[in-house]
Amino acid sequence: MPNIKSAKKRVLVNEKKNEQNRMLVSELRTAVKKFYTAIETNNIQLAEELLPETISIVDQAASKGVITKNAANNRKSRMSKRLSDIKSGKKEVVIKKDNKTIAAEKRAEKVAREEAAKAEAKRLADEKKAAKEAEEEAKKPKNKREAKKAAKEEKPAKPAKTKKVKNEDPEAEEKPKKTRAKKTEK
């Protein structure tokens, strides 16, 4: 912290000027970004409207000493050349996509693929159902006689009754049952 009155005042003035300079730099960067964004989105008319405003802001920054005169001239030249090249057709605008846009497009493609797969599955199910119904229709009898014959053919024949013999093996009855022998103490 300065002790002398003039040094204290100089600190306050410097802080104030620093804040003003930061505001000018921020305004300059914002104006330049708007101009280049208009070009990147292929909005040439908006870029033509923003060029004089942006050049004015660049000149103000140069006159206040925030950027040098050469830097200001270079920026103005670069912006004007880029706009004139695009207008004349020397350069084409390549629209850039950010990660958010790319992710949204991927999601939309995925949803479209899923919907297409569902539609295909539904179409196949409908075709299968239609084929089954056509087959059922072909099996149906045309009159009552054919219906009776079909009903008789569909009923399964009853199996013949057979007598069950309990034990056909005579030796199986004679076998003695095994029992446990009790141990005796000696």
Superfamily holding 5-88: Ribosomal protein S20 (1.20.58.110)
Give the containing element (helix H, strand E) for 112. Answer: helix 99-139
Q: Which two three-digit tokens encode residue 68?
A: 């040098």
From the number of C-beta atoms within 10 Å of its C-beta (0-12, 13-18, 19+), residue 38 rates as: buried
Do residues 43 and 87 lie in contact, with contact meaning Cβ atoms separated by under 8 Å? no
Rounded Cα distance, 88 and 80, in Å: 12
What are the pLDDT tens digits along the chain (186 aa)? 889 999 999 999 999 999 999 999 999 999 999 999 999 888 899 999 999 999 999 999 999 999 999 999 999 999 999 999 998 888 777 776 778 888 888 999 999 999 999 999 999 999 999 888 888 877 776 677 777 776 677 666 566 666 665 555 555 555 556 666 666 665
Give, to the nearest 10 degrees, the angle between helix 5-40 and helix 44-64.
160
